[in-house]
Amino acid sequence: MQRAMALNPRGNGPPQGSRDQQQSMRLFGYVRDREWTPIIGYVFYVSALAAGYYYNLTFVQLGIVDLGTRIVGMPRGAVAVAMAGLALCALVTALITGAVLDRRGWSADLHVKIRFLLAVISAQLVVTLCVPLVQSPTALHVWVLICALPLGVGIPVMFSMMSDLIPVRDRGYVAATVAGLAFFAAALYPFDWRVEEFALVVAAGMAPAVLVLAVVSSNKFRFVDRLAKQHAEFGPGRFCRGAPNSHRALVFWALVALMFTVFFIDSLGFLRIIESPGLMAASWQSPEFSVRLFIAVTHVAGAFAAGVLYTNFGQRWLFLWVFGLFAFTHLLYTFYLRGGEYSIPPLVLPMFYVLAVSFYTTLNFALWPDHSTPTTLGMRTAIGVGVAGWLATFLSTALALYSDEAEVSLLEHLNYVNALALFLLFALPVGLYAQKLLALYRRGGLA
């Protein structure tokens, strides 16, 4: 692989030259050489994905719960069912869209994906503006199903754009920038977690985005044509080189299962923690701006660390870091609940939680494009983000709502979450060791 990279100094691997040159981002070279087209690609991708993830974090994940419980007056269990329906509908839509993109060759066509993105954001703007019309359980269910359609289409369209716009070498840092910006904004604004506030913020951002995309998708700009040609240089992904197809497929499905459990653990604990009165003062819903600023800055620091680790270490180590952080974090929360408010400094709890979330979010942004080729990009990003992200998030959110409805105590609930995190922390290295033994056995090394 190193040899291949050395033969292709304009490729995705480190260029020939000093160690410093090999470790530096390609973005710095574009800036130094004043190559504005790829720089526009970086800005476009980071802006679009950070805004889209902010929309999902705030308006969708938190806004629907507020809409269903406070405005419509539904019990939390019924809202949990509606959210599970949202996840399933979004997943099916994402898989269909990913399959269509791959089959028609649109996964490698940036012009088509920009038009899809324009349709997605236009539909989401309409859905957001229709929130005041949702006043009954029936209206909520219909609205949720309609909301799921652009979400599902947007998953493979948006995530696959990384292969068009970002060189492999820079993907960890760019994913970290997206995660850091989205979490920083979500932690600080809006201060009041009400669906009206979320709708106002996202509608104000979507309206100009629709206008910009409408102009860009008109096929009248040469820089868009040049951006569309970058795909041949930037792809395939980092983990799709050298290994046989069967091995890559096995690794991909193992990663889907691992990432599903990561998202599941996070959302299973998060909703109960942020709505616990005893923990609220040191959480994302804190009334103190300083606490929220601390959480926002920690998100950025965690994302940056994850970007560095993603660029320089293998994916197995990153998953071990994530499971370890979640296990340690939930262990701290259970100690805190048992020992009282003076057992652990309050800001230590959200600090470790935030680091874990920033780590795996950065990993999720970069991992699926790096496990795809131009012919598998649509389906793999749909499966990776749709199954491991959306389905796990909303199923565990629904389970957390059901747990609250069934009056399971917060300590007991977090004990279950912590047990799952600890199991995965120890199961992962055991599984990897068993895989090495199996490979050695097949080669006759254990005979």
pLDDT in tens, 196-243: 989 998 999 999 999 999 999 887 788 999 999 998 888 778 888 666
pLDDT of residue 402: 80
Q: Which of 158, 179, 231, 155 minimizes the C-alpha distance to 383? A: 155
Q: Which residues contact 353 (CB under 8 A, 6 or more apart)?
A: 270, 273, 329
Mean pLDDT calculated for residue range 390-408? 80
In this structure, is residue 137 part of a structural domain?
yes
| Stronger pLDDT, 51 or 18, i.e. the higher one | 51
| Stronger pLDDT, 280 or 336, i.e. the higher one | 336
pLDDT in tens, 157-177: 999 999 999 999 999 999 999
In this structure, is residue 21 part of a structural domain?
no
Residue 441 tokens read as 């056995």
Helix-, strand-, coil-residue percentages of the chain, each rounded to 5: 80, 0, 20
pLDDT bucket at 401, cuts 50 / 70 / 90: confident
pLDDT bucket at 406, cuts 50 / 70 / 90: confident
Mean pLDDT calculated for residue range 181-203? 88
Which amino acid type is present at position 249?
A
Tokens 């090999």 — which residue? 22
Give the dihedral sign, CA 166/167/171/177: negative
Tokens 């804190």 — which residue? 286
pLDDT bucket at 4, cuts 50 / 70 / 90: very low
Give pTM, 2 decimals: 0.86
| Stronger pLDDT, 33 or 316, i.e. the higher one | 33
pLDDT bucket at 16, cuts 50 / 70 / 90: very low
Tokens 């160690």 — which residue? 19
What rounded mean pLDDT belongs to the chain? 85
Q: Are the C-beta atoms of residues 341 and 247 closer than 8 Å to each other?
A: no
Q: Which of 6, 74, 118, 3 minimizes the C-alpha distance to 401? A: 74
In this structure, is residue 11 part of a structural domain?
no
Of 24-28, 338-342, 401-405, 432-436, where does mean pLDDT reach its minimum?
Answer: 338-342
In this structure, is residue 297 part of a structural domain?
yes
Q: Are the C-beta atoms of residues 99 and 381 closer than 8 Å to each other?
A: no
Share of the chain above pLDDT 70, in %: 91
Which of 43-47, 233-237, 369-373 shows the highest mean pLDDT?
A: 43-47
pLDDT of residue 165: 95
Angle at 220 between CA 216 and CA 221, to 5 degrees: 65
Distance between CA 120 and CA 161 in Å, rounded? 14
Distance between CA 314 and CA 305 in Å, rounded? 14
pLDDT of residue 18: 41
In this structure, is residue 17 part of a structural domain?
no
pLDDT of residue 190: 76
In this structure, is residue 258 part of a structural domain?
yes
Which amino acid type is present at position 330?
H
Which DSSP string corresponds to 341-379? TTSS-TTHHHHHHHHHHHHHHHHHHHHHHHT--TTTHHH
Asked whether the bond before 236 is cis by omega within 30 degrees of 0, the reply is yes
Q: What CATH code is carried by the domain that includes residue 273?
A: 1.20.1250.20
pLDDT of residue 383: 93
Q: Which residues contact 122 (CB under 8 A, 6 or more apart)?
A: 210
How many CA atoms are closer than 13 Å to the CA of 269, on its beta-carbon side? 31
User: Where does residue 356 rank: exposed (0-12), middle (13-18), buried (19+ CB within 10 A)?
Assistant: buried
pLDDT of residue 10: 40
Q: Are the C-beta atoms of residues 185 and 394 closer than 8 Å to each other?
A: no
In this structure, is residue 49 part of a structural domain?
yes
In this structure, is residue 20 part of a structural domain?
no
Q: Are the C-beta atoms of residues 117 and 213 closer than 8 Å to each other?
A: yes
Q: Are the C-beta atoms of residues 299 and 354 closer than 8 Å to each other?
A: yes
Q: Name the maximum alpha-carbon separation found in the chain.
A: 70
Residue 258 tokens read as 């691992």
Domain count, the chain: 1
pLDDT of residue 247: 66
Neighbours of 77 (CB within 10 A): 14
pLDDT in tens, 102-129: 999 999 899 999 999 999 999 999 999 9
What are the backbone angles phi and psi of residue 342, rounded to the nearest 5°?
Answer: -100, 0
pLDDT of residue 416: 86
pLDDT bucket at 15, cuts 50 / 70 / 90: very low
Neighbours of 35 (CB within 10 A): 14
pLDDT of residue 3: 37
Residues of the domain holding 77: 34-445
| Stronger pLDDT, 246 or 207, i.e. the higher one | 207
Residues 175-209: b if buried by 16+ CB within 10 A, e if exposed: bbbbbbbbbbbbbbeeeebbbebbbebbbebbeeb
Residue 181 tokens read as 């910006």
